[in-house]
A and B are shown apart, each in its own frame.
Chain A
Amino acid sequence: MSEEQIKNLETQFEARIARDEKIEPKDWMPEKYRKTHIRQMSQHAHSEIVGMLPEGNWITRAPSLRRKVALLAKVQDEAGHGLYLYSACETLGVSREELYEQLHSGKAKYSSIFNYPTVTWADMGAVGWLVDGAAIINQVPLCNTSYGPYARAMVRVCKEESFHQRQGYEIMIKLANGTPEQKELAQDALNRWWWPSLMMLGPTDAESIHTEQSMKWKLKRKSNDDLRQQFIDQTVPQAELIGLTIPDADLKWNEERQSYDFGEINWDEFWQVVKGHGPMNKERMKARVGAWEEGEWVRDAAMAYAEKKQERKQKQAI
């Protein structure tokens, strides 16, 4: 194809997206569109998969059967969400093995929030309430993104995700209304998860390198700063309602903006964690790669068994 022809196709392509048409896997697309989508969708999938680890940590120690079945179901959902997203990503011609390889080698990123430890039971409350809360704010606009398979996967994810946040908040309510020690656990978890949750919505608009192109392709419908403000405005009253204090001395209702003003975010910490120096980066990758490697014989055995069955069937047919 000549350069001019490609230019032409690109113009038509951008016009289709501007008209809110969806792009499907076999449609022509600019190479950059394909690459950007593989990057964002796989990052998203990896985050779901690695996101199982901090919560898996507490399944065996959940304080009641009610809490245990809920947490198990949530972690299983995250596995499912990872699988929807991997399969949507594979429609762009990248294989599952390549995607895993990128995660395991550290080439692909996942959400930095999962590099923090879950040290008490209250962290299960804070993670569900804050981390899933922030994730929902990020994900809802993606239900209308331009790439069909991604948008469809996100519709499923968003439908399932709202129970995750509720189960977390319920844990926080219970603890906040419990003994002084339990209330302290809840406050401590909020103290540790608040700032990382704000960072989870991404760097400030001034520093976000992907925003403009992503907006055009509807991979992003609101800027990181707008999403963050939305998250803060919706979460602060929820904390007040259960008697917990947001750990930000500068947090103040701004009557004029009808929004909360908030304190400075420690972006050095964010970039440190992104670069691999968070408290749990090594641990998470060790657990993930370990699970993959230790499962290899199971995958091979299943494949060998499937081939044997197939051969037997063919012999019988003769």
Chain B
Amino acid sequence: MSDKKNWPLWEVFVRSKNGLEHRHCGSLHAADEDMALENARDVYTRRSEGVSIWVVESKNITASNPENNGEMFEPAHDKVYRHPTFYDLPDEVKHM
């Protein structure tokens, strides 16, 4: 193995068509951002799966830790009043 550094890891996000969001579809290795984009095109859009690609070097992503999901997402659990079904309406009101 050479003493040079290995190509870093990039995360790939593809917008399948205008009007839809970019979605994470996998990762790949590339020396720099230009190569990452070209590799992403060849690896993830060989059948016209995309109209736009984002690549982000994996080390730049900050992720939440599933072990802390309890504390992290707990505040949303007891706030049922954020949902429309929490509110009582007379049956006569058909659409609201």
Contacts and interface: CB of A to CB of B under 8 A. Distances in A.
Interface stretch (A40-48, A63-71, A75-83, A196-204): A75-83
B29 A96 contact: yes
A246 B27 CA distance: 42
A265 interface: no
A309 interface: yes
Given A87-B26, A96-B6, A97-B6, A302 B65 contact: no
Nearest to A160: B47
A309 B33 CA distance: 11
Given A90-B9, A97-B1, A77 B31 contact: no
Interface string B18-31: 00000000111101
A93 to B, nearest CB: 12
A26 B1 contact: no
Q: What class of interface size applies to chain B in its complex with A? A: 20 to 34
Interface string B33-76: 00100000011001100000000000000010111000000000
Contacts, number: 58
Contacts of A24: 66
B83 interface: no
Given A24-B66, A26-B66, A302-B35, A296 B28 contact: no
B95 interface: no
Interface in A294-318: 296, 299-300, 302-306, 309-310
A84 B65 contact: no
Contact of A77 (B1, B5, B46): B46
A296 B9 CA distance: 18
B42 to A, nearest CB: 8
A27 interface: yes
Contacts of A302: 7, 31-32, 35
A152 B27 CA distance: 12
Contacts of B46: 73, 76-77, 80, 160
Nearest to A91: B27
A88 interface: yes
Contacts of A304: 4
Contacts of B85: none
Contact of A303 (B4, B43, B47): B4
Interface in A27-49: 27-28
Q: Which 5 A-B pairs have the closest CB atoms?
A: A306-B32, A302-B31, A306-B31, A87-B27, A300-B4
Interface of B: 1-2, 4-7, 9, 26-29, 31-32, 35, 42-43, 46-47, 63, 65-67
